[in-house]
Amino acid sequence: MRISIKSRKFGVVISKFQAYMLNNLTAISPVDGRYRKTTEKLADYFSEQALIRYRIRVEVEYFIALCELPLPQLVGVVPEKRAALRTLYTEFSSADAERIKEIESITNHDVKAVEYLIKEKMDQLGLSDYKEFIHFGLTSQDINNTAIPLSLKEALEEVYYPAIEEVRNKIATFAEEWSSIPMLARTHGQPASPTVLGKEFRVYVERLDKQLALLRALAVPAKFGGATGNFNAHHAAYPATDWVAFANRFVGEVLGLSRSQYTTQIEHYDNLAAIFDNLKRIDTILVDFARDIWTYISMEYFKQRIKAGEVGSSAMPHKVNPIDFENAEGNFGIAGAIYAHLSGKLPVSRLQRDLTDSTVLRNVGVPMAHSLIALKSLIKGMNKLILNEEALQRDLEANWAVVAEGIQTILRREGYPKPYEALKALTRTNTHVTGESIATFIEELAVSDAVKAELRALSPSTYTGVFRTQK
């Protein structure tokens, strides 16, 4: 059955049936469907309704800033009325958003619809005499190029950073917990000089810390300067006002963004591209991490906690698959591809403006949603990990050849002739180098007993370098 409502003023038909059918089974994107529970917080920043709210916030705060300048025509807007205006975005409702979409169906312009809604509200607040100073001297990009960066900045601070810090801190906890667990390293997939499990986790902590520091240091950019960035209309109306200084204060102090000083009609997006590139690098690091953990699980270095009722394979009952790390890798990959498009496309615009940035910017929340899904999957996967120290020790004991590096290096120090070649002959001609064969080799060396004792102390479990007991 189709149930419809007609708008009392604009004749817009809205199907309740269609509206209610958009759920986790009918959404086209898994971001709004299968993974909605994970990503729903991002709707507060990147949904259409959120974008409208951010636009209203910029328009209202701009109007209030004009009152505080003050423009002589606005001195009658008392502080109480300014506070009332702020409720237009602090108490923004779905009904307000629907009203804007009704207006937009007539204007065919989303920012103009926001302006008209605010003017309607000003009539209700007794501010009709001042409503032509809403959107005064601005073009739509002065609103979009502040609203969207502001939503990104706040989404980073309130959603992304807590999620990535949780992952980073979990990895750091493992690094500390396993700081004394020796592990066979593998370079080119082959046994190599032993390492420490905790140190291998610490590698990722350092990589993440460096990239997060870079990300936090990047200024979130904004454009605010009129139709082509020159304050033409502002200057024509009030030539004595320093509009550049005003805009810098407004964007920097009120919105907390960094105003680009020289722009066309739109922000040039170079810093925004840097943010997306940085987010992509972080995701790349975590793809590397997810693949490493996946491989360690396949090598039985880790087992996974089993959750009652879960099925690993529809055909093989014994399987406990590393699905969380696979999910993370896949979603980080999607996010990275979109971040790359954003950073490559947004800084390029024909002359003073084309519209390609507009449709692309509507997708800023999409890669962040995939990153968030991946981060949550990593946490879920890491919480299942159970260290299987026996498997690590077994691999170490089976690969005594890895101490050859240490032996030949000590022999070099002692001036022993051709030590590398001697160890090469031992380790490459024997099909299986054991502790016994290494001990026999050491005993036959023409070196002092003290040096032999030093060499005998080397084993795959002790030959781990300087990180053996580091906290």
State the catalytic residues: 188, 313
CA 57, 105, 22, 342 torsion-angle sign: negative
Judged on CB neighbours under 10 Å (0-12, 13-18, 19+), 86 is middle
Q: What is the CA radius of gyration of the chain?
A: 31
Cβ-in-10-Å burial (0-12, 13-18, 19+) of 143 comes to buried
Q: DSSP secondary structure string, 221-253?
A: EE--SSTTSS-HHHHHH-TTS-HHHHHHHIIII
Tokens of residue 201, six digits: 């986790």
Contact 324, 304 (CB under 8 A): no
Per the listing, tokens 């269609």 go with: 18
Place of tokens 């999957």: 377
Q: What is the longest distance spanned by two Cα atoms in the chain? A: 102
Chain position carrying tokens 């498009």: 341
Pairing of strands 258-259, 221-222: parallel
